[in-house]
Amino acid sequence: MNEDGSGGDIGLRQSIPATWTFFRQWVRHPLSTASVAPSGRQLTRAMMRQLPSDAHCVVELGAGTGVFTRALLEHGIAPRDLLVVELNAELHALLHRRFPQVAIVNGDARDLRAIVARAHCEQPVDAVVSGLGLLAMPRGVQKQILDAVFAVLGPGRSLIQFSYAPAVPVANGLLDDLGLRAERVAFAPFNLPPAFVFKFSRRQG
């Protein structure tokens, strides 16, 4: 099996151009592209394990070449119940070609409320899966993204986010300001680079 979950020669022919596209976008936009390469199988499995067992409507942010997108579909999320948001225009076009049945929006995660409303996505959302490079973003941008995410998430639902640093990938004090908590729930040491998985949720009370 290849990194994107496909197999055989067809999967190899698809994954090589996608990986090159991803790397090219990282060279052009290193601060807005989270990594130099798509996520590996170990990190992908760790992210999928954090989905609630009854997840129905899922939003993915910063999908890149679609490694998590494919995994979400294989996990059982129906194409009509998955909304993908990708800011990079070239990666957005690639995602459209790879997943024609999925609603894929070329947009900014800070506008998630309006994007969800326009997409007629079922609300509230059951999970948000994120490949965004939060760690590289200014505090103000982090706040806008988290505000937007938790405006669409249902009660008791979480943002599932990975990072290449073991510390929570948001500015000091921001979780307290937003009434959120973060838990480090997994480590993928064989990913390139090694990655940590966090779950963000609302604080009780």
Name the percent of the chain lying above pLDDT 90: 76
Which CATH code for domain 8-202? Answer: 3.40.50.150
Tell me the two tokens of residue 95: 């995602």
CA 156 – CA 56 distance, rounded (Å): 14
* Single pTM value for the model: 0.82
pLDDT digits (tens, 9 = 90+) for 137-177: 999 999 999 999 999 999 999 999 999 999 999 999 999 99
Q: How far is CA 141 from the centre of its chain?
A: 16
What pLDDT is recorded for position 8? 36
What pLDDT is recorded for position 123? 76
CA 4 – CA 14 distance, rounded (Å): 9
- Cα angle for residues 87, 74, 68 (degrees, 5° grid): 25
Pairwise pLDDT comparison (93 vs 204), residue with the higher score: 93
